[in-house]
Amino acid sequence: MSVAVGIGLTNECNLACPHCYRPTLAQQRLSIAQVNTLLDSLEVGSVNLGVGENGLHPQYREMLQIFRERGIKTAITSNGYSLAMLSDEELSGFHSVELSFDYPTKKEMDAFRGPGSWEMAIESIERCHRLGIPTSVAAVMMNTNYDKMGELVSFARELGCDLRVNVYQPVTGEEYTLSYEQFWEGFAGLFAAGPLVVCSEPLVNALVGLETTRGNPCGRTSIRALPAGTITPCPYWPAAAGRIHQLADDPTSMWGRREFERARSVPEACRSCRFVASCAGGCASRRAIRNRLDTPDEYCPVVRGEQEVARIQRMLQYTLSNPAEVPKAGNACTTVISRNVVL
């Protein structure tokens, strides 16, 4: 089975964004040997580099060369630092690139991420466009920007980019957690602002009738290798399933480990729900982080009654974009809004 592998080469970063989930107590780095073990042990369909700012790893360039030599489609999510350090030839080796923006204005972005972060990301987008590299804007939906989703779509469109959005996960704290209403208002704002390319956020996918998911992709079609050398079904998952070196012995056994089984579990209360085939209880990581894995997703409207389900469905008016390949659609609970305008 071809899998999407998320790899964090390091937990180091040149910024200290307040909503970041990466561990910071000790420096963590994967070795070239560990990366090769991953690639040798799994049928890797694609790789996405995330977690920290990967360019801070001292062997970053060597690892990119490994991916290129093996012909693996490689994507990266960056604040711009890991792109600026590469030559045009090295940068062109990426199948796609995402630049992180959580606000549509320089003032808000620099206040949140740090002075200079806006220019660094903008310069990287302009360079990627010049080189013909597929480029998108990546944002985290939080309680501080959920009402700016439409503005973010417009901002990304002006840059010639799609917008990809992940929901904030309370890995390190609740400061940016969305309320129930904010969650749904945020998605309503996204859908109203542009055509929907893909939505693998399980609850939303189910409520709008897409039915293209079976719960979250984590632990089913994707696997994560974190800078500490651990394997998890999702970068937000609160416990390790195993270690990279264990893949060399029996890579298939990892999928049957307890944490992967937990990531695929469906809460008892959800098993008779009419949306269970596509929702499967919603985001498993969100439930696991709160130690409520066997309860429905906190943003579920079904538990509030049919009138609430109907209200949410009325909010979520959307237009589908033409089918497109989205590098992270199969390995994360994510939503992508097209840069194209429906006429």
- Lowest-confidence region among 13-17, 171-175, 218-222, 244-248: 218-222
Strand partners, 231: 225, 242
Strand partners, 75: 48, 96
**Cβ atoms of residues 195 and 321 within 8 Å:** yes
CA distances from 312 to 127, 266, 317 (A): 40, 22, 10
pLDDT tens figures, 297-342: 999 999 999 999 999 999 999 998 876 655 555 556 899 999 987 6
Q: Hey, what are 238's tokens? A: 């609160």
110 by Cβ neighbours in 10 Å (0-12 / 13-18 / 19+) ranks as middle
Helix (H, G, I), strand (E, B) or coil at 48: strand
Helix (H, G, I), strand (E, B) or coil at 178: coil
Q: Hey, what are 4's tokens? A: 């999407």
Cα 143 to Cα 159: distance, rounded to the nearest angstrom? 25
pLDDT tens figures, 22-60: 887 889 999 999 999 999 999 998 999 998 999 999 999
Residue-wise over 165-189: b if at least 16 C-beta within 10 A, else e? bbbbbbbeeeebbbeeebbbbbbbb
Q: Residue 80's pLDDT is what?
A: 97
Cα 109 to Cα 117: distance, rounded to the nearest angstrom? 7
Q: Residue 187's pLDDT is what?
A: 98
> If pLDDT is split at 50, 70 and 90, which confidence band does 135 have?
very high
Cα 189 to Cα 147: distance, rounded to the nearest angstrom? 7
CA within 13 Å, CB half, 254: 28
DSSP string, 87-104: -HHHHTT-SEEEEE-SSS
pLDDT tens figures, 103-132: 999 999 999 999 999 999 999 999 999 999
Q: Residue 331's pLDDT is what?
A: 54
Q: Residue 91's pLDDT is what?
A: 97
43 by Cβ neighbours in 10 Å (0-12 / 13-18 / 19+) ranks as exposed
Q: For all residues of the chain together, what is the average pLDDT?
A: 92
Q: Residue 139's pLDDT is what?
A: 97
Q: Hey, what are 296's tokens? A: 């429905």
State the amino acid at position 327 in one-letter form.
P
Cα 135 to chain centroid, rounded? 15
Rounded average pLDDT over 187-210: 94
3-202+220-258+318-337: which CATH architecture?
Answer: Alpha-Beta Barrel (3.20)
Rounded average pLDDT over 63-73: 96
